[in-house]
Chains A and B, each alone.
Chain A
Amino acid sequence: MIEYLYTVEEPIAALSTPWGESAIAVIRTSGGNTLTLINRIFKPFMRRTGDAEPGNKVSPGKIRVSAKSKGSTLHYGKIIDSDSGEILDDVMLALYRAPASYTGEDSAEIFCHGSLAVITRILALLYKCGFRPAQAGEFTLRAFLNGKMDLTRAEAVNELIRSRSDKARALALNRLSGTIERKITEIKLRLVNFLSSVEVRLDYPDEDIEGEVVSEKECSSVENELKQLISSYETGRLFQEGVTAVLAGRTNAGKSTLFNLLLKEERSIVSRYHGTTRDYIEGNIVVAGIPVRVFDTAGLRKGGGPVEMEGVRRSNRVIKGADFILYLVDASFGLTEEDTDFIKSYSGSYGGKGKIIKVWNKIDLKSTGGVKAPDGFLPLSAETGTGLDKLVKRIEQTILHGTPVRPGEPVIDSIRQKELLDRTLDALRRFKRGLKRNDPLDAISVELQEAVHLLGEITGEVTSQDILNNIFSNFCVGK
Chain B
Amino acid sequence: MDLDAIVIGGGHTGIEASLALSRLGFETLLITQNPDVIGKMSCNPAIGGLAKGNLVREIDALGGEMAKLIDATMIQFRILNKSKGPAVQAYRAQADKTAYSLLAKWTLEREKNLHVFQDTVVDLTTDSSGRRIQGVLTERGRIFKARTVVLTTGTFMESRIFIGEYSGPSGRLGEPAAIGLGKSLRRMGFDVGRLKTGTPARALRSSLIFERMTEQPGDDEMLPFSFSDSKVNRPNVPCYITYTTAETHRIIEENIDKSPLYGGKIVGVGPRYCPSIEDKVVRFPERQRHQIFVEPEGLSTEEVYLNGISSSLPEDVQEKFLKTVPGFEKIEIVRPGYAVEYDYLNPTQLYPSLETKRIKGLFVAGQTNGTSGYEEAAAQGLMAGINAGMFLQKKPPLILSRADAYIGVLIDDLVTLGTEEPYRLFTSRAEYRLALRHDTADLRLLEKGYTAGLKGDEEKQRLQEKIQNLDEIREILKKRKVHESDTAHLSALKHHPGKSFEQALRDPLIKMKDLTALDDELAKRRTKYLKYVELDIKYEGYIKRQKEQVKRFERMEKKRIPEDFNYALAAGLSAEAREKLTKIRPLSVGQASRIQGVRPADVAVLLVLLKKGV
Contacts and interface: CB of A to CB of B under 8 A. Distances in A.
Interface of A: 1-9, 141, 144-147, 151, 154-155, 157-159, 161-162, 164-166, 199, 201-208, 434, 437-447, 449-450, 453, 461, 463-465, 467-468, 471-472, 476-479
Interface in B278-324: 280, 283-284, 287, 290-291, 293, 307-308, 310
A129 to B, nearest CB: 17
A144 B603 contact: no
A147 B609 CA distance: 11
Nearest to B279: A478
Nearest to A427: B545
Contacts of A479: 273-275, 307-308, 310
B600 A443 contact: no
Given A203-B50, A203-B426, A6 B604 contact: yes
Q: Max chain A CB contacts within 10 Å: which of B555, B599, B604?
A: B604
B571 to A, nearest CB: 7
Nearest to A4: B552
B611 A144 contact: yes
A477 B424 CA distance: 13
A7 B552 contact: yes
Contact of B601 (A146, A166, A463): A166
Contacts of A205: 50, 80-81, 84, 88
Nearest to A150: B612
Nearest to A200: B428
| 6 closest A-B pairs by CB | A440-B85, A479-B274, A158-B572, A476-B284, A442-B85, A165-B601
B87 interface: yes
A201 B51 CA distance: 13
Given A440-B87, A443-B86, 18 more contacts: A3-B552, A3-B555, A6-B604, A154-B612, A155-B571, A158-B608, A199-B426, A199-B427, A205-B50, A440-B84, A442-B427, A447-B542, A463-B594, A468-B428, A477-B273, A478-B291, A478-B308, A479-B308
Given A161-B605, A440-B539, A447 B545 contact: yes
A145 B605 CA distance: 11
B105 interface: no
A8 B593 CA distance: 16
Contacts of A207: 291
Given A206-B291, A443-B86, A443-B539, A464 B593 contact: no
B539 A439 contact: yes
A37 B283 CA distance: 56
Contacts of B274: 478-479
A464 B429 contact: yes
A335 to B, nearest CB: 62
A437 B510 CA distance: 13
Interface in B442-475: none
Contacts of A147: 611-612
Contact of A471 (B287, B307, B428, B430): B428
A104 B612 CA distance: 14
Contacts of A434: 542
B553 interface: yes
Q: Max chain B CB contacts within 10 Å: which of A7, A151, A477, A479?
A: A479
A186 B434 CA distance: 28
Contacts of B546: 446
B84 A201 contact: yes
B542 A446 contact: yes
Interface string B475-510: 000000000000000000000000000000000100
Interface in B231-287: 272-275, 280, 283-284, 287
B176 interface: no
Interface of B: 50-51, 80-81, 83-88, 272-275, 280, 283-284, 287, 290-291, 293, 307-308, 310, 417, 426-431, 433-434, 508, 539, 542, 545-546, 549, 552-553, 555-556, 571-572, 590, 593-594, 599-601, 603-605, 607-608, 611-612
A461 B431 CA distance: 14
A148 B433 CA distance: 39
Contacts of A157: 608
A145 B84 contact: no
Contacts of A468: 426, 428-429
Contacts of B556: 2-3, 6-7
B578 to A, nearest CB: 13
Q: Max chain A CB contacts within 10 Å: which of B88, B291, B417, B594?
A: B88
B293 A203 contact: no
Contacts of B603: 2, 6
Nearest to B200: A479
Nearest to B243: A208
Contacts of B434: 442-443, 446
A457 B601 CA distance: 13
A136 to B, nearest CB: 11
A6 B608 CA distance: 11
A292 to B, nearest CB: 37
A465 B272 CA distance: 13
A441 B612 contact: no
B426 A208 contact: no
A443 B87 CA distance: 7
A437 B508 contact: yes
Contacts of A453: 549
Given A1-B593, A2-B593, A446-B542, A162 B607 contact: no
22 contacts: A141-B608, A158-B572, A158-B608, A161-B605, A199-B426, A199-B427, A202-B50, A202-B81, A202-B428, A203-B426, A206-B80, A208-B291, A438-B508, A440-B88, A442-B85, A442-B87, A447-B542, A464-B429, A464-B431, A476-B287, A478-B308, A479-B273
Q: Max chain B CB contacts within 10 Å: which of A204, A464, A467?
A: A464
